[in-house]
Structure 1
């Protein structure tokens, strides 16, 4: 039955890949709005996160934001069809790019591209891998078939997919060998190799891997964000200038810097950040659980 279910998922994604993008996007948005009307654990997590991060907003405003977020999240799942199975030509047509650095510079210094979990992150990474060879860190999924599928399709344009738990020495070798590394460190992966720093004023368990890898590899850290454009027009990948004084020598200061940058981007399109994740899963000693 598990094998049959996997085949259905693949068939559905392949079908979605050949349909017009706007049809798929509209369908995902409608399904997301319908699912928001139902009680669910994920809806509870979203509302808790928004209550913590936007306490000044009214309950009605947070509810509307949560509903819009559900539309974006479910839509992003359906858009995996074109992202995982669409042609390079189709993806190039869907993604606009704006970069503060020269992405074609063959003499660029070792570079860590630091992404964040906005709903469009996958297509941004795919689009970059069409331009330049890169390595991309991923988190292993509990469903092996789905994990294998995701790794294969995310890397089909030449990106070298590396599991997050791999040796830091391997990542440093890639950086020093001239291959950029793409990663995201804005989720709660546990207190090991993490520090508690503010995220919208709430202590958030934040990974220190970015600054540690940058220090070991002598790499610059370049943030990037992928925005879902309005009116179902596709996506915009924005690549920013490298962070200044990063790494600073203090993992805590670097984590604060990373979260502050992320906050500034979330405020531009808050419904697109991945609020369904338990961002405050781990809490400092003595602080109560929130979910």
Structure 2
């Protein structure tokens, strides 16, 4: 656990990295990820378990290849918080390509839930979609256990005029934001336990999946607009992909709506499996009577 001095040193290091060329920072993070992958660890084991569950058809060699690439991406993503949190808007503009199926500057955009997914570039994608909207927006986040680091993360994630709120306090705040026509960013593809969740398949495995997205959309009369962040090859930066709002969503059937969200995510994961956040215990919560995986 980092104390305040440790947090200050870590943040100082990130600020320093933000000043140097992105390619150097990205290569440093990649090399650090490769080095850490050589050491047995709990997180490395989780990556292999998740890949084995989701892609049983893969050969061991294929799983090993993707696991190593993902671990390098995951560690690199933490290092790249430097430019994402402390880099100037001008620097980020040179690093982030935007591929949007909608007009993000539409002044008549209806109440909107911006649904993000936990690929390794989610931090860059969330910061930049907020900037690209050119209007205040709301953003839900999962608080960190370290208060000092959480305060810094909250401030930097909201630096382009985003109002941050803890996921635990979200429903009332989100509905207020939607009434004010403030776009709201949130992620719903993590395992947060059984509260406001149901079990639906994710790559054929029953996954505890939040149902709050559909209910918030229904109550707030909001459209669901998915977005995905992608790390570009050859240390060129990122791509923010924004998709058209989902038709006929929500349906009122929590399980069907949750399954649709997971099905969309599966499509995106197959495009870049090494970039999804496999270090997370996605299948931690199990149906009653089913043994755990981890």
Kindly indicate whether residue 271 of structure 2 is the aligned counterpart of residue 290 of structure 1. Answer: no
Structure 1: distance between partners of 2:63 and 2:125 = 27
- Where structure 2 has 5 or more consecutive residues not aligned to the other structure, the ranges are none
Give SS of 1:205's match. strand
Identify which of 192, 195, 205 aligns with 2:195: 192
- Answer yes or no: is the 8 Å Cα contact 2:226–2:242 preserved in 1: yes
Kindly indicate whether residue 62 of structure 2 is the aligned counterpart of residue 54 of structure 1. Answer: no
Structure 2: distance between partners of 1:178 and 1:100 = 20
Identify which of 145, 148, 151 aligns with 2:148: 145
Shift in Å at residue 165 of structure 1?
1.1
Give SS of 1:161's match. strand
Structure 2: distance between partners of 1:51 and 1:144 = 35
Aligned to 1:160: 163
1:127-183 deviation digits (Å, cap 9, x = unpaired): 122232211100111110111010001111111111101141221111121100000
Shift in Å at residue 3 of structure 1?
1.9
Aligned to 2:250: 247
Aligned to 1:179: 182
1:224-247 deviation digits (Å, cap 9, x = unpaired): 001000111100000001111110
- Answer yes or no: is the 8 Å Cα contact 2:203–2:266 preserved in 1: yes
Structure 1: distance between partners of 2:170 and 2:228 = 26
Kindly indicate whether residue 30 of structure 2 is the aligned counterpart of residue 29 of structure 1. Answer: yes
Structure 2: distance between partners of 1:192 and 1:162 = 18
Structure 2: distance between partners of 1:9 and 1:284 = 39
Identify which of 256, 270, 273 aligns with 2:273: 270
Aligned to 1:67: 68
Distance of aligned partners of 1:177 and 1:230 in 2 relative to their CA distance in 1, 3 Å threshold: same
Distance of aligned partners of 1:266 and 1:167 in 2 relative to their CA distance in 1, 3 Å threshold: closer
Structure 2: distance between partners of 1:60 and 1:34 = 19
Aligned to 1:220: 223
Structure 1: distance between partners of 2:62 and 2:160 = 41
Query: TM-score with structure 1 length normalisation?
Result: 0.98
Give SS of 2:258's match. helix
Structure 1: distance between partners of 2:54 and 2:61 = 15
Give SS of 2:271's match. coil
Aligned to 1:8: 9
Structure 1: distance between partners of 2:5 and 2:180 = 42
Query: TM-score with structure 2 length normalisation?
Result: 0.97
Q: What RMSD, in angstroms, separates the aligned Cα atoms of the two structures? A: 0.9
Identify which of 201, 206, 212 aligns with 2:204: 201
Distance of aligned partners of 1:167 and 1:17 in 2 relative to their CA distance in 1, 3 Å threshold: closer
